[in-house]
Amino acid sequence: MGKYVAKRVLTSILTIWLVATITFLLMFLVPGGPFLAEKAPSAATLEALNKRFGLDQPKIVQYKNYMLNLLQGEMGESIKQRGRMVQDIIFSGFKVSARLGGIAILVAVCIGVPIGCIAAFNRGKWLDSLILFFSTLGIAVPGFVVSTVLMVIFSVKLDLLPTYGLTSFAHYIMPVSALAFYPTAYISRLMRSSMLEVLGQDYIRTARAKGLPQFKMIFKHALRNAILPVVTYLGPLLAYTLTGSVVVEKIFTIPGLGNEFISSIINRDYTMIMGTTIFLATLLIIMNMLVDIAYKIIDPRIKFK
């Protein structure tokens, strides 16, 4: 196990380095730069700015400097948000996005798993069809539609919920619903199909032959075996949701990381682009590793190589 984790960590570092390098290259292939605005600065100012951020040096030197700083945990100063360090911006945005995303995933799992199970137990009946209908809807309808529809109903028409910010419980309701909509639908479908598969297995019949009561059979044998695909899905889902959804954060004006992501690219904020990309890649890798380790705990058949 220790050896496995060590190997995973090593390959992860290699992956992150590759991601950083490729992002660095792509970044400079995109035309434009951080100082091009409607009101173009004078040539002297531009030169001074370029010098301050080290952009006047050859690309290879810039790359070397960036990597050396990164090794020391420094992501540099944001080019657009002067005076703020990239890691601080990421951290403060991540705090907001992660709380929101965490709640949304919790909601998605707590609703999606039971609903999927219920659909499986009632296979072919009207309840199953109803759940299937809503989960298909949930997968098909994009987040911005859900967000705006919610807003129209609950804020504009009913005047019940606030439309922006994250200062009270009521503020969380709509963004969490919008964020949880798709994963809930997806998890319920995953759960339904894997539960159906498990329920047809012989060992479920064995449990019945032993005399195990229905609900115990479901929790002890069926659920434990059927939950695996959901765990798999949870890894990348966590990474993407915790780092914030651009759409939802834009619509509800939430100061999260998702917003920073897009604005850094639009602004050609080179240090921010690097920082957010590396952060997302690292999170994704860590989540996938956690999922793999969780696998081993849930399923003894899986061995680490």
**Residue ranges in 217-246 that form contacts with another protein under rule CB under 8 A:** 220-221, 224-225
Q: How big is the site for another protein, counted in residues (CB under 8 A)?
A: 19
Binding mask 94-113 for another protein (x = CB under 8 A): --------------------
Nearer CB in complex with another protein: 132/228? 228
To the nearest whole angstrom, how small is the minimum distance from the Cβ of residue 290 to another protein?
A: 20
Q: Is 203 a binder of another protein (CB under 8 A)?
A: yes
Binding mask 183-202 for another protein (x = CB under 8 A): ------------------xx
7 binds another protein (CB under 8 A): no
Question: How near is the Cβ of 113 to another protein at its closest, in Å?
Answer: 17
From residue 147 to residue 186, the character string flagging contacts with another protein as x (rule: CB under 8 A) and all else as - is ----------------------------------------
Instruction: Write the secondary structure of the chain as one string of H (helix), E (strand) and C (coil).
Output: CHHHHHHHHHHHHHHHHHHHHHHHHHHHHCCCCCCCCCCCCCHHHHHHHHHHCCCCCCHHHHHHHHHHHHHCCCCCECCCCCCCEHHHHHHHHHHHHHHHHHHHHHHHHHHHHHHHHHHHHCCCCHHHHHHHHHHHHHHHCCHHHHHHHHHHHHHHHCCCCCCCCCCCHHHHHHHHHHHHHHHHHHHHHHHHHHHHHHHCCHHHHHHHHHCCCHHHHHHHHHHHHHCHHHHHHHHHHHHHHHCCCHHHHHHCCCCCHHHHHHHHHHCCCHHHHHHHHHHHHHHHHHHHHHHHHHHHHHCCCCCCC
Q: Which residues are at the interface with another protein (CB under 8 A)?
A: 201-203, 205-212, 220-221, 224-225, 298-301
